[in-house]
Structure 1
Amino acid sequence: MSTATIAPAAPVLDLDARLALVDAAMSVRLAEAAVAFEVNTAHLPGADPIPHIAEILPHQPAAAPSPYRTPLADLLHRARLRIEIDGWCRDAAFDEAGAVCPIQAIRVEARGDRDLAHDACVTLLDAIQDNFADAETIPSWNRQQTNVRPVLAAFDRATHRANARNR
């Protein structure tokens, strides 16, 4: 009769323990790669030592405080900045690169305040119609533009109008 032995079950590691093991393994591999780099470049007279690379997290540039104190003017100002930073989208609300159309910029910057977003769109359309009387909607006017300059100018006019009306 043969006797079977049962191997003890492997301990179950939680996420922190597994991450610590991977971190330790990666540290060893990086140290080995650093040594290999130093050995392979020791004969090069201009080879710099391995630079220390600090972990840099991507971040948005700190936005300057808005010069406008009224909610509507501030929203229009932020929406204009969003188009400048993220890019302008002509034929859709947004594209895969992150560019946005004027209405999408307003919606994003309104942060869920639908009434304020609606008021901003109305004010923007009024500013557009000052120079383009045949513009029926913001999207139809936006599709007719060939570059971002008229869009930014319309935001500027709308922002100044909202500020002048103390809105």
Structure 2
Amino acid sequence: MPYAPPSPAPTSATTPTTALTLEERLALVNTAMNARLDEAAVAHEVNIAHIPIDPFDLADIITSPIPSTPAAPPAPYATPAAALLQRAHHQLLTGGWCTGALVNADGAHCMLGAIRAEAGVDHRAESTAIGVLLDVLHRTFGHAAVSLPACNDAHSSARVPLRLLGQAAALADARGL
């Protein structure tokens, strides 16, 4: 018996086909996605049904307040500029960081203020540390970073200034400064 291709289904000449509007297509997609999400939720519940969950009391987990003592500084670097930068880093970490002033009313320091406070009267170590910190600034941000105060004030949290001081301490130690 020879093969006869299927004939196309008869179409009704009385029902014109119209394209769906954007709202109708979005409604169809929304319905399809909701069905898929419901199916995934059921599958997830089935997959985790065998895992036992014991209720717990939060008071059993948290028994006392976390101590607020500051962390001890790491072992100091052997070189003067690196040790100074490390102390300045610890100063910002424990004493607080600020913008717009070397030291604010709460006693928080900016990067330059922390270096100056930790250097005391050792102006040679201070200038060496500031030079290394400027090198790190230029390596990190290019020559767009014009000064330490401008870079310090450009940030909204202490995260970047702390990272820069840490990198500068490591660089000063590597250079033997």
Band the TM-score falls in, shorter-chain normalisation: 0.5 to 0.7
CA distance in structure 1 between the partners assigned to 2:138 and 2:78 by the alignment: 25
Residues 1:108 and 2:122 are matched in the alignment: no
Q: 2:76 & 2:88 partners in 1: Cα distance? A: 14
- Aligned position for 1:90: 99
User: For 2:164, which of 143, 154, 157 is the aligned residue?
Assistant: 154
| Count of matched residue pairs | 108
Counting aligned pairs with the same residue, the percent is 37
- SS of 2:124's equivalent in the other structure is helix
**One-letter amino acid of the counterpart of residue 165, structure 1:** R
Secondary structure at 1:88 match in 2: coil
- Give the one of 66, 71, 75 matched to 1:66: 75
* Secondary structure at 2:101 match in 1: coil
Segments of 5+ residues of structure 2 without an aligned counterpart are 1-68
TM-score normalised by length of structure 1? 0.61
Maintained 8 Å contact 2:97/2:108: yes
1:88 is displaced (CA, Å) by: 0.4
The structure having more radius of gyration, on CA atoms, is 2
- Give the deviation of 1:66 after TM superposition: 3.0
Alignment correspondent of 2:46: none
Q: Return the alpha-carbon distance in structure 1 between the equivalents of residues 71 and 156 of structure 2.
A: 30
**For 2:126 and 2:76, how far apart are their aligned partners in 1?**
19
**Distance across 2 between alignment mates of 1:142 and 1:62:** 23
Question: What is aligned with 2:154?
Answer: 144
1:128 and 2:128 correspond: no
Letter of the structure 1 residue corresponding to residue 111 of structure 2: P
Distance 1:110 1:92 in 2: 17
For the Cα contact (< 8 Å) 1:90–1:142, is it kept in 2?
Answer: yes
Aligned AA for 1:146? S
Cα separation, 2, equivalents of 1:61 and 1:149: 17
Counterpart CA distance in 2 for 1:95 and 1:104 is: 10
Q: Aligned partner of 2:162: which letter?
A: L
CA RMSD of aligned residues (A): 1.7
**Amino acid paired to 2:172:** A
Q: Distance in 2 between matches of 1:140 and 1:67?
A: 28
Q: Report the TM-score when normalising by structure 2.
A: 0.57
Whether the aligned pair in 2 keeps the contact of 1:66 and 1:77 (CA below 8 Å) is no
Shift of 1:91: 1.1
